[in-house]
Chain A
């Protein structure tokens, strides 16, 4: 199974530790943790497969970027990266905002949170692998179509005028005399 790079963003140290402990049971997951949205944005060039992002990142630092702001930035910089939003409590506004700005799911930090997050990650990686396969197939199909078009053009031209390529002399055509080179 391919390795899945997961970024986990939460300013709560206890929750980060617990999430890493639970998610790292899956050996195909590589997990990197961040405590601020600013830091995770700087690390987007490593192309993570999934980002698990806490909604309330500015709980203790009012000047820090909020989870929604970070989500918006991620989707602008790397639209292919899937984001799962985490929240401490059920809140319909949080859920609606998360999905509106492109999160694949909104997970409440309750007892079943890690199971749900793992299922989300599996779903996301499966969809990504399928998309990748489809993209590869499309690329192959495009190349084949171009090749076939060229082949058909070549055959048509060949049939219209077999001499076009100098392969077969036209009927009745006298081949040019061979020039004799005098021997000295």
Chain B
């Protein structure tokens, strides 16, 4: 069991090759870009632009995998499939809601990690 409940930074630690600056940079980028990406998908949902939702979800998969958010990697995969193929689009709103909550919980832990890295 890791230090956190909603994130697992083991993979990011491996990728960092021991660089705290790198971990800090990636977490900050994640905190900056992920809400923008989720917002973009929500806007696209209103416009029923499924392709954009699929494309953004595709990119988010990698970001979530860096943060050890395996559930969100799976949610992103489903969103990508639904979006790019414009199939089972009725699933999308619930999946996006799930992502909003998961991100909010993860952000708290990521900010805690950032504080520890900066001290």
Can you report 29 A-B residue pairs in the complex whose CB atoms are below 8 A from each other?
Answer: A11-B59, A12-B59, A13-B29, A14-B26, A14-B62, A14-B63, A15-B62, A17-B26, A17-B29, A18-B15, A18-B26, A21-B15, A21-B19, A21-B22, A22-B17, A58-B55, A59-B54, A59-B56, A59-B58, A60-B40, A60-B52, A60-B55, A60-B59, A62-B52, A88-B58, A88-B62, A109-B62, A111-B14, A114-B15
CB <8 Å contact, A22 and B15: yes
Is B33 part of the contact surface with A, judged by Cβ < 8 Å? yes
Interface digits, A45-89 against B, CB 8 Å rule (1 contact, 0 not)? 000000000001011101000000000000000000000000011
Chain B at the A interface: SS class: helix
Which A residues touch B33, using CB under 8 A?
A: 13-14
Most buried by B among A15, A17, A59, A62: A59
Q: How many A-B residue pairs have CB under 8 A?
A: 55
| Cβ-closest chain A residue relative to B15 | A18
Which residues of A come within 8 Å of B, CB atoms? Answer: 11-15, 17-18, 21-22, 25, 56, 58-60, 62, 88-89, 109, 111, 114
Q: Give the residues in chain A near B63, CB-CB below 8 Å.
A: 12, 14
What residues of chain A lie closer than 8 Å to B62, measured between beta carbons? 12, 14-15, 88, 109
Residues of A within 8 A of B51 (CB): 62
Task: Give the interface residue-count category, chain B.
Answer: 20 to 34
C-alpha gap A13/B34 in the complex (Å): 11
Interface residues of B in 12-41 (CB under 8 A from A): 14-17, 19, 22, 25-26, 29-30, 33, 40
Q: Which residues of A contact B58 (CB under 8 A)?
A: 56, 59, 88
1/0 per residue, CB under 8 A from A, across B50-74: the answer is 0110111011011100100000000
A114 to B62, CA, bound (A): 14
Closest chain-B Cβ to A163's Cβ sits at a distance in Å of: 79
What A residues does B59 contact at CB under 8 A?
Answer: 11-12, 59-60, 88
Which residues on the B side are within 8 Å of A17 (C-beta)?
22, 25-26, 29
